[in-house]
């Protein structure tokens, strides 16, 4: 048996068997040793690390699993770090929330116990809440940090732990790495203080809900339009997650009176029984909602992920309903926001939007047309939050988004927010309806004005230790042997965000990328096509993002040109040997 497993894995597993872990955990480890060596390797070959979404992993026993001890150690490390950073703050305060996943409430309580045992004041939500409300609560309650227990849209076997700083944004460098360093200093589970000080734990809930919903309602730019379109039909599903706690209320606060829920999915359930995956990026997740929308003849469908920070939509196209991707929804939202800011005479030349480097360049084109500054950031909404923080009091943030269905309007939340997004997307749809068109036609109008942009994401999944090594090899190969041509167009710009270099292959000039180092490569061709490649920070996969565009002369040409662009992407994929 020992010859089948790396000694480092066995050593770590044996430390758990000898340490102060509960008997149930030790029993699971012994079972893996005796009967499931591959599972033992996966459970112990590494420690969970903070990525673009924090700590995330399969639930179970082991250092590479989500369990009482990995959550406890992460919290102890974070507590130690908070004490170092705020030595004169008494008390240090944190807020904690959780989603609908199995064990989320348990992990939230463990987190609260450890913080309180370290003398830190805890504001603990009394039941499940969307992630963005946690971000809001941190700043509203004057906290120095926060935690939300969630694995976002991952399968039901997963859970996770997102850590936030005092600005309400997720941890970024140097805090993320320094928290991990504090966690790694914990060599014995006995160093983790699990015994709660209940006097330092305060339950919160409806009081924060009310303040948050008032802030969301204040974002409305067209209340008079909604009043005229209050019967606009919307179907909403929370996909068994936290969105059900606030999205319907927010839509009512905006003035929408015809909101239909998908009842089968309105009950929070960590097993997500009606979907294969609770991911609004996947068409199957919206099937029940679209079925209901057809039955009630709704014009807009919205689905939020389990922790309520991302939203997928479907819109009416004639007698049918079609799904829009994250780039399209973001483009509609930003176009509406900037149009209304201009109509309401709110643009002063000091406003900005933010998008990620893998999000459609259409957002940048829209911002340019309105004379609004735009920023590009690395993938991960924490980087959008960082830009908002950097320019707080100097410039005005209007909105931002990323292709993976996450958007934000206003700056009182510092993470992607599906409660706000659902409200503002519904308002965008009502605004379009007030003009006699639907969101689908509004999107075509945008394409007529700015060109037809088409994007595609291809993910290659490689699980486990061997998969991580294969993903590393793919990146190494692309870095050392970049493509010279893609679909017959020469690659003219090569961006390496790990090396922080921006090379113009035509002129030979090399510029410096000022964003934080990240393992991302981008290839931009002479005809404007863009390919971005990055390993996922939260899942065992490597992602290829493709972006192409073409002029759209008239709406009747949309299907033909869209198909041409799809074929172009397929040729680029072939050129990359995928």
User: Does residue 4 sit within a domain?
Assistant: no
The answer to whether residue 9 sits within a structural domain is no
Q: How many CB atoms lie within 10 A of CB 396?
A: 18
Q: Is the per-residue pLDDT at 538 higher than 70?
A: no
pLDDT tens digits for 476-489? 999 999 999 999 99
Tokens representing 153 are 């849209």
Domain boundary among 450, 473, 498: 450
Residue 292 lies in a domain: yes
Same domain, 383 and 463: no
Domain count, the chain: 3
Q: Does residue 273 lie within any of the structural domains? A: yes
Q: Is 427 a residue whose pLDDT tops 60?
A: yes
Domain boundary among 433, 450, 467: 450
pLDDT at 53: 57
**CA-wise closest residue to 221 among 384, 402, 328, 345:** 345
| Range with the poorest average pLDDT among 199-208, 233-242, 252-261, 463-472 | 463-472
554-559 LR contacts (CB < 8 Å, sep 24+): 554/448, 555/441, 555/444, 555/448, 558/444, 558/447, 558/452
Lowest mean pLDDT among 64-68, 151-155, 266-270, 430-434: 151-155
Would 311 be classed as within a structural domain?
Answer: yes
The catalytic position among 135, 152, 222, 518 is 152
Domain identity same for 295 and 382: yes
Q: Per the domain annotation, does 26 fall within a domain?
A: no
Q: What is the CATH classification number for the domain harbouring 124?
A: 3.40.120.10
**Interhelix angle 7-18/23-35, nearest 10 degrees:** 150
Least Cα distance to 555 among 446, 438, 435 occurs for: 446
Residues 396 and 266 placed together within one structural domain of the fold? yes
178 and 226 housed in the same domain: no
pLDDT for res 50: 62
Domain of residue 479, CATH code: 3.30.310
Same domain (yes/no): 408, 513: no
Distance in angstroms (rounded) separating the CA atoms of residues 557 and 66? 50
Domain with 94, as residue range(s), is 46-204
CA dihedral defined by 54, 56, 62, 67, rounded to 10 degrees?
90
Closest CA to 413 of 139, 211, 163, 129: 139
Distance CA 387, CA 384 (A): 5
Say whether 170 sits in a helix, a strand or coil: strand
Catalytic, 152? Answer: yes
Q: What is the pLDDT of residues 190-246, one digit of tens each?
A: 999 999 999 999 999 999 999 999 999 999 999 999 999 999 999 999 999 999 999
- Give the model's pLDDT for residue 2: 46
What b/e sequence results for 463-474 when a residue is b if at least 16 CB atoms lie within 10 Å of its CB, and e otherwise?
eebeeeeebeeb
CA distance 380 to 376: 11
Block residue for tokens 């770590």: 12
DSSP secondary structure letter of residue 516: P
What integer pLDDT is reported at residue 3 of this predicted model?
A: 43
* Per-residue model confidence as pLDDT tens digits over 297-339: 999 999 999 999 999 999 999 999 999 999 999 999 999 999 9
Q: How many other CB atoms are found less than 10 A from the CB of residue 22? A: 12
For 395, phi and psi rounded to 5 degrees? -135, 160
Please tell me whether residues 366 and 237 are part of one structural domain. yes
Same-domain check for residues 421 and 531: no
pLDDT at 466: 85
Question: Percentage of the chain surpassing pLDDT 70?
Answer: 98
d(CA 482, CA 287): 40
Q: Are 368 and 374 in contact (CB under 8 A)?
A: yes
Q: Do 426 and 471 fall within a single domain?
A: no
Q: Is residue 407 part of a domain?
A: yes
Determine the 3-state secondary structure of 37 from DSSP: helix
**Tell me: the pLDDT tens digits for 13-63?**
999 999 999 999 999 999 999 999 999 999 999 887 765 456 889 999 999
**Are 192 and 281 within one domain?**
no
What is the tens place of the pLDDT at every residue in 158-184?
999 999 999 999 999 899 889 888 988
Average pLDDT in the chain: 95
Q: Where does a domain end: 184, 204, 224? A: 204
Q: Helix or strand or coil: residue 537?
A: coil
Report if residue 445 sits inside a domain.
Answer: yes
- pLDDT-based confidence at residue 1 (cuts at 50, 70, 90): very low
Pair (230, 99) in one structural domain: no
Task: For 329-377, write each residue's pLDDT tens digit.
Answer: 999 999 999 999 999 999 999 999 999 999 999 999 999 999 999 999 9
Residue 527 dihedral angles phi and psi, to the nearest 5°: -90, 10
Residues 281 and 406 in one domain: yes
pLDDT tens per residue, range 75-92: 999 999 999 999 999 999
Residues 565 and 462 in one domain: yes
């Amino acid at each position: 048996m020992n010859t089948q497993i790396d000694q480092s894995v066995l050593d770590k597993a044996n430390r758990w068997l000898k340490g102060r872990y509960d008997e149930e955990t030790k029993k699971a480890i012994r079972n893996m040793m005796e009967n499931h060596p591959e599972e033992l390797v996966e459970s112990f070959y590494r420690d969970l690390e903070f990525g673009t979404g924090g700590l995330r992993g399969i639930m179970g026993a082991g250092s590479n699993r989500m369990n009482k001890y990995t959550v406890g150690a992460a919290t102890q490390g974070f507590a130690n770090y908070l004490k170092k950073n705020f030595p004169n703050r008494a008390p240090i305060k944190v807020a904690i929330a959780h989603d609908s996943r199995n064990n989320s409430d348990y992990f939230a309580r463990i987190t609260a116990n450890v913080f309180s045992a370290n003398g830190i004041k805890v504001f603990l939500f009394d039941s499940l809440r969307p992630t963005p409300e946690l971000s809001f609560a941190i700043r509203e309650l004057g906290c120095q940090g926060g935690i939300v227990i969630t694995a976002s849209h991952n399968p039901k076997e997963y859970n996770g732990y997102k850590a936030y700083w005092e600005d309400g944004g997720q941890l970024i460098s140097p805090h993320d790495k320094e928290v991990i360093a504090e966690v790694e200093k914990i060599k014995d589970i006995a160093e983790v203080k699990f015994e709660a000080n209940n006097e330092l734990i305060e339950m919160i809930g409806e009081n924060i809900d009310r303040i948050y919903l008032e802030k969301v309602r204040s974002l409305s730019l067209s209340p008079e339009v909604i009043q005229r379109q209050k019967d606009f039909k919307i179907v909403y599903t929370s996909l068994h997650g936290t969105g059900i706690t606030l999205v319907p209320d927010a839509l009512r606060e905006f003035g929408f009176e015809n909101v239909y829920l998908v009842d089968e999915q309105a009950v929070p359930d960590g097993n997500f029984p009606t979907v294969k995956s609770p991911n609004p990026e996947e068409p199957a997740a919206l099937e029940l909602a679209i079925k209901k929308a057809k039955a009630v003849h709704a014009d807009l469908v919205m689905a939020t992920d389990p922790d309520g920070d991302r939203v997928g939509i479907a819109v009416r196209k004639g007698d049918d309903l079609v799904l829009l991707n994250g780039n399209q929804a973001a483009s509609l939202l930003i176009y509406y926001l900037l149009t209304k800011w201009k109509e309401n005479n709110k643009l002063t030349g000091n406003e900005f939007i933010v998008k990620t480097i893998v999000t459609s360049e259409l957002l940048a084109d829209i911002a340019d047309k309105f004379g609004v500054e735009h920023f590009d950031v690395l993938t991960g909404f924490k980087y959008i939050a960082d830009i908002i923080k950097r320019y707080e009091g100097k410039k005005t943030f209007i909105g931002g988004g990323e292709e993976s269905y996450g958007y934000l309007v206003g700056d009182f939340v510092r993470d992607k927010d599906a409660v706000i997004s659902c409200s503002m997307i519904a308002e965008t749809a009502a605004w379009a309806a007030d003009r006699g068109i639907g969101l689908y036609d509004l999107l075509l109008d945008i394409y007529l004005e700015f060109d037809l942009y088409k994007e595609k994401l291809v993910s290659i999944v490689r699980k486990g230790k061997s998969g991580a090594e294969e993903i590393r090899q793919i990146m190494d190969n692309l870095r050392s042997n970049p493509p010279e041509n893609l679909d017959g167009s020469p690659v003219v710009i090569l961006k390496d965000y790990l090396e922080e270099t921006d090379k113009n292959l035509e002129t030979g000039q090399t510029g410096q990328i000022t964003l934080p180092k990240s393992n991302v490569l981008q290839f931009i061709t002479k005809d404007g096509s863009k390919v971005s490649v990055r390993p996922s920070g939260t899942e065992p996969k490597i992602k290829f993002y493709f972006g192409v565009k073409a002029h759209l002369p008239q709406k009747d040409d949309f299907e033909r040109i869209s198909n041409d662009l799809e074929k172009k992407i397929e040729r680029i994929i072939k050129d990359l040997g995928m």
